[in-house]
Structure 1
Amino acid sequence: MSRSSFALAACLLVGQLCGAQGEAHATERSLHGLDLDYVAPAECPSREQFDAMLRARLPDEATTKDTRHFLARITPDEAGGYVGRLDVRGPGLAPDVREIHAPTCRAVSTSLVLFVVLALTPASQAEHEPERTSPAPPPPSPPTTEPAPLPTRSSSDETRSYTHAAKPAATWSWSAGFQATYQHMSEAAWGGRVHAELTRVPALGPLGASLRLSYGWSDFSTFPVRAGEAKFRLRTGRLEGCARVALGSFALSPCAAFELGSLDGRTPALSATEMSTLWAAPGVRLRLGWQTSAWLALEVEAGLSMPLERRVFQITDPIRTVYEPPAVVVDLGAGLGVSGRFR
C-alpha cells in the first residue's frame, strides 16, 4: 500500500470515529444551565426521576440561556394528599408561583414538570425562532372603506395573566405525642413525657420555628447507709423554643429549654421520712424527627439541663447523705407523635 493510500484510510477512520462520537453526544438530553432545586418527601419521585421526566418534555438545549431560579417543592397536606409549588424568580422579574393539589405525589411531580416546561418554552422559542421576512407588498388596489380591526390579545398578554399567581403563604402545623425517657441523675432514672407543639412552616426555604410544651416524670433509687432504699421522683413541666430545619421528610430542631417542677424523695424503711425540693433548670436540646406519613412522625432527642439549686437530701440520727443532684443532667428520649396542618 502506498503512503498516500495509507493516509487516506487513516483520515476516513478518524472521520468515522468523530462522527460516531458526535451522534452519541447529540442524543444526550441534559438540564445543563438550569438553576433548579427539587424538594420532596422520601415517598415521592427522586431528583433523578424528576429530571428524566423534564428531559423527555423539553427540546434540546432549551435551558442553557435561562438565568431564572426554579424551586419545585412537594409537601403533604392535611387531607392526606400532596401539594406542589413551583416558584420562579429572576433579577428584575416579578415572582411566578404556581400550585397544584393531588391525592398522589406522582401526580403532583408530573404537574410540576409541566409547570417548568410552560415556564421555559416561551423563552426558548423566542431565542431559537428564525427571523421572519415581511411579505412583498400587494399590488395597489382601489381604496375601499373597511371597518377598524378589533383589538386582539397577544400571546405575551396571555402568558402574563397566567403567571400572575398569588404569593405563597406560610402554613402552621400542630403535633402531640409521647416519649420514653432516660435521665442520668447520678443514678439511672426512667420515665416518660407527653408534649404538644405548634410549628410555623415557611412557604419557601427549609427554616421554620416551633414552640413545644411538655410534662414528664422519672423515677430512680439510692441506697444510703442504714436507711434501706430511698426512692425519688422528678416531675417537671418544660417549655422549648426551637428552630426547625426541614431536610426532605426529616427535620432537625435545636432548642433552648427551661424546666420547672419538684424533686420528691422518701425512705420506705424509715416511716414519716419524706423530702421535697423545687426543681428549676435551664437547658439545651437537639431533636431529629422523621415524617413517615402525612400525620405520623417518629423522633429521637438528647438534652442537657443545669439545675439552679442542688439541695442535698439528708437523714438524721446519725446525719448521713441520701442524695445530691448532679451539676448537669443528661437525658435521652424516643417516641412518636401525630400532626396536622392548617393555614
Structure 2
Amino acid sequence: MASGGGISFIELVVLGWSSATAAPAPIPVRIDFDAPPGCSTAEQLYEGIRARSDRVTLVAEGEEGWEIRVRLRRVGRRVRGELRVVHDRGATDTRAVEGSSCDTVVQALSFTAALALDKVAEETEPPPVAARPPVAAPPPVAAPSPQPSPQPSPAVAAPERPPFRLEMGAQILLTQVVSPGVNLGGALVARLTQRTDSALSPSFGLSLSHARDDVLPGADRASVQWTAVTLTGCPLRWDIAGSLGAAPCITATGGWLAATGYGVTSPESAVRSWWSAGILARVAVSLGASTALEIEAGASFPLVHRRFTIAFPAETVAKTPAISPLTSVGIVHSF
C-alpha cells in the first residue's frame, strides 16, 4: 500500500494499460513491387510510407497482413505507377501516378499508400499481429544493465522479375490468301517480350488465325477458308512519343486452305496446305499500365502456289496471289 500522494504499483500498471489501449493499432503490411531495371526499389517505397505513417509495420513472408501492390512502367520518357491496397475486405481502387522519374513516382505513391492505409484502417480492423507479452519491471540493481543496440528496420525484398513478360490478346484481321475475294476473320495471340529499357527488346509470338472469303462480297465461284499458325519475331521496339510504340517483325506461317465450289451443278471440296514467309509493322497505343491497342500491317509471300478449278466448264475459280497482304486490329494485355 502506498501512502500520502504516492502512486501504487497497481495504479501504474493500470495507467500503462490505458495508454497502450488508446494508441492506434499497428497496420501490418507486405509489399509486392514490380519496376523496370534501374528504377526505384521496394525499400524506398517502404521508407516513404514509414515517414508518413509510423503505424505501418512490415510482416515476414507467410504472416498475416495487408498487401501493397505497386507496378511501375516506363512510357516514353516518363514513368507511370499504379497502386492497390489489398485488405481483408477486398481491395482499394487502383491509384495511378505519372512523373518524370521513378523516384518522383515512388514518393507520390508512398504518400498515397499511407493515406489509403489510414483510411482503410478507420473502416475495418487490420489483421492481428503477434502479441508480445508484457515486460515486467526489472528488480532494482546497483548499476543499470547495458541496453541492447537498436535493431535495423527489416529490409523489403522485392520479388525477382522474370526476364520476359507474357502478352495475350485477340485480333480482327483482313487478308487475301486467294484471289478473287478478301478473307475476314480473327486471331488469338500469345507473345513473350524481353524486359529491357532499350530499343533492343525482342519479342516472340505465336498466333492462331482463321478467316474466310464468303463474309464480304467479292468471292467468285468458290468459298475458301484459311486456318493457320503464325510465328512472329520482332527484334526491336521503339517508344515514339509517350504511350505510342512501334516494332518491325518477320513472320513464318503454316496452315491449310479449304475450298468448296458453289454456283455449280456438282460442287466439290478440296483442302491444300499453306506455307508463307513475310514482314509486318506493329504500332501499339497504351490504354493503361498493362493493356494496349495494337495495329498491324504487312505482307506475306506464299511459298507454294495453289489453284482451285471446276471441271465443267473448266475454269480456275481461285488461286494463290503472289503477295498476300494482311492488316489487323487487336487488344493485348501484359502479365
TM-score, length basis structure 2: 0.51
- Which of 328, 331, 334 aligns to 1:333? It is 328
Partner of 1:211: 204
Within-5 A mapping of 1:241-280: 241-247=233-239, 248-269=242-263, 270-271=265-266, 273-280=268-275
Q: CA deviation at 1:295?
A: 1.9
Q: Which amino acid aligns with 1:215?
A: L
Within-5 A mapping of 1:206-245: 206-221=199-214, 229-245=221-237
| Closer/same/farther in 2, CA of residues 170 and 105 from structure 1, 3 Å limit | farther
- Which of 190, 194, 200 aligns to 1:200? It is 194
Gaps of at least 5 residues in structure 2 are 1-35, 37-67, 84-95, 108-157
Cα offsets for 1:52-105 (capped at 9, x unmatched): xxxxxxxxxxxxxxxxxxxxxxxxxx9553268xxxxxxxxxxxxxx9987343
Cα offsets for 1:140-164 (capped at 9, x unmatched): xxxxxxxxxxxxxxxxxxxxxxxxx
Within-5 A mapping of 1:24-103: 79=69, 81-82=71-72, 103=83
| Closer/same/farther in 2, CA of residues 211 and 79 from structure 1, 3 Å limit | farther
Within-5 A mapping of 1:99-248: 103=83, 104-106=96-98, 109=101, 111-112=103-104, 171-184=163-176, 185-186=178-179, 187-202=181-196, 204-221=197-214, 229-247=221-239, 248=242
Gaps of at least 5 residues in structure 1 are 1-39, 41-77, 85-98, 116-165
Structure of greater Rg = 1
CA distance in 1, matches of 2:269, 2:169: 33
Q: Which has the higher helix share?
A: 1
> Could you tell me whether the CA contact under 8 Å between 1:267 and 1:273 is conserved in 2?
yes
> Could you tell me whether the CA contact under 8 Å between 1:172 and 1:198 is conserved in 2?
yes
Within-5 A mapping of 1:277-288: 277-288=272-283
CA distance in 1, matches of 2:186, 2:206: 14
> Could you tell me whether the CA contact under 8 Å between 1:189 and 1:219 is conserved in 2?
yes
Q: Which amino acid aligns with 2:212?
A: D
> Could you tell me whether the CA contact under 8 Å between 1:82 and 1:108 is conserved in 2?
no
Partner of 1:90: none
> Could you tell me whether the CA contact under 8 Å between 1:244 and 1:251 is conserved in 2?
no
CA distance in 2, matches of 1:255, 1:191: 21
Q: CA deviation at 1:254?
A: 0.7
- SS for the counterpart of 2:321 is coil
Q: Which amino acid aligns with 2:249?
A: C
Cα offsets for 1:282-315 (capped at 9, x unmatched): 1011101122112211000001111111121111
- SS for the counterpart of 1:111 is helix
CA distance in 2, matches of 1:315, 1:101: 61
> Could you tell me whether the CA contact under 8 Å between 1:220 and 1:232 is conserved in 2?
yes
CA distance in 2, matches of 1:190, 1:268: 19
